[in-house]
Every structure is written in C-alpha cells, then in structure tokens.
Amino acid sequence: MCPSTDPGWTPLFLTAGGLVMEMGGSNSHGAVVAREYGLPAVVGVRDAVARLADVTTVRVDGTSGRVEPVG
C-alpha cells in the first residue's frame, strides 16, 4: 500500500505480491510497472494507507478492483 509511486520504487516491485495505491489510474507508473511484473494492482483507492494501516496481509484482485484484509 502506498499513496503513489515513481521510478525510484521500481526495485521494490520485485519483492511485492501486489499493489494497492491511493492515487493514479491505469496508466500511472505503479499500474504500468505492476503489469510488467505480472502483479495484481488496484489503484485509486481512497485512504488505502490509513484504512489498512493495521492490516498485515491483504488480498488484491486486480480484475475486480477488490482489496480485502486476510486473516
């Protein structure tokens, strides 16, 4: 989870299981890099960082745009 990404974040995608981002759209940096790495991504999630701050694991469904806590 993050507010947004920029090219400096690209190496972090190598260890990520998915992306939840507050700002951006389907052509934003995070969404494009996630597609390149085959990661599920949901972007434009208002207050994602604050709402999921205490959550350890989330399920990210890039097809449906759903993000849900696990466990």
Catalytic residue, candidates 9, 10, 13, 29: 29
Distances (CA, A) of 39 to 19, 24, 31, 50, 54: 7, 16, 9, 22, 22
Q: Among this protein's residues, is 21 annotated catalytic?
A: no
Report field, pTM of the whole predicted structure over 0.75: yes
Residue 43 has pLDDT above 80, yes or no: yes
- Per-residue pLDDT band at 2 (split at 50, 70, 90): very high
pLDDT of 7-25, one tens digit each?
Answer: 999 999 999 999 999 999 9
State pLDDT tens for residues 56-69.
999 999 999 999 99
- Supply the pLDDT for residue 9: 95
